[in-house]
Structure 1
Amino acid sequence: MNAPPSAPVPGSTLEDLYRANHGWMQRWLQRKLGNASDAAELAQDVFVSLLSTPRVFNDAEHARAYLGRMSRSACVDFWRRRRIEQAYLEVLAAQPEHQVPSLEHQAIILETLGQLQAMLERMPKRVAEAFCLAQLQGMKQREIAEQLGVSERSVNKYLAQAMYQCLLLEVELDVSLT
């Protein structure tokens, strides 16, 4: 089966891949997001990601499938960030004006919240539950064990896994700030 003439062939450059796929990707993202500006930004993000982590594709179909998967993932991340941003803005609106952080601090907080959400989603369900019960509700390990129906030793293990993920996030944040 021959690839369409505009499609890249194996071993082609990122530029060829961009030319052959950017248009359809941006149109697809615009239909999903309802906004040309956001779609253009996400399409660029997908190709920047490919620039930083180059891939080799077997054929044009493989490249398009991969780009489609990356586009879907970018959409999910975009909507997740939007939900977090909206919740944060609602909290800010309820604050007295003198307690509202600067725009720079707001941007840092939103980025951190997004990374925290992504970290929680990467964790196994029980680990994330135990972490949230401990950190957000102030529950003790015994209470968490009862709530989750597991042993205290399991809760201890879950919390250790969660703290390890927090340390990785902290290192990631430190690196991004330098």
Structure 2
Amino acid sequence: MADDVLRRSLTTLYDEHHAWLKNWLQRRLPCDDQAADLAHDTFLRVLAQREPVAPDAPRAFLTTVAQRVLASHFRRQYLEQAWLETLAQQPELVAVSEETRALWMETLYEIDRLLDTLPPITRRAFLLSQLDGVGHAGIAAELGISIATVKRHIVKAGTLLYFAR
């Protein structure tokens, strides 16, 4: 019964607002196909909540969910572009297959998602250490914290990434 209520509420929301949401996204994206994909992703995210949807303001609700989907989309684009630029600067040793490249990108997205769950200071300390090669004393000075705290932040982030599935 709960699944039936969920299905009906989502069907109603989709039928009444999908076209509007797609148009809303088209004004924010350079490609109509991307807008259609992200409208679809928005409804998938609503479906993943597994709760009946009957908001008082359905368009405001969908806009909020769509903005999160859009932010994820732009973040993934930024990561992919940064990765491709980095890859282009490296000497070509071996041609990388599309499958390998896709696996690398998925790994980068997952690392980014995990790092985003950390408090900002922990994430910053870890990135300064791992990407910029700044030592503990330099990180402590930059962030205005003790060296022992820097070590705790780096261990926390490293543990999160090491034990991620």
| TM-score (ref. length: structure 2) | 0.83
Describe the superposition over 1:13-41 as per-residue Cα deviations: whole angstroms up to 9, x where unpaired: 32111111111111111111121111111
User: What does residue 33 of structure 2 align with?
Assistant: 37
Deviates more, 1:140-149 or 1:71-80: 140-149
Moved more, 42-51 or 22-31: 42-51
Equivalent residues of 1:127, 1:158 under 8 A apart: yes
Which runs of no fewer than 5 residues in structure 1 stay unpaired?
Answer: 1-9, 172-178
Partner of 2:28, secondary structure, is helix
Q: Percent identity at matched positions? A: 33
SS at match of 1:101: coil
Give the direction of change, closer, same or farther, for the CA distance of 1:134–1:94 in structure 2 (3 Å limit).
closer
Map of 2:117 onto structure 1: 122
Q: Match of 1:33, SS? A: coil
Task: Name the structure 1 match of 2:64.
Answer: 69
Task: Indicate which of 146, 149, 155 corresponds to 1:154.
Answer: 149
Aligned ranges 1:40-51 → 2 under 5 Å: 40-51=36-47
Q: Where in structure 2 are there 5+ consecutive unaligned residues?
A: 1-5
Number of equivalences: 160
Contact 1:92 1:100 in 2 (8 A): no
Q: Does structure 1 residue 26 correspond to structure 2 residue 22?
A: yes
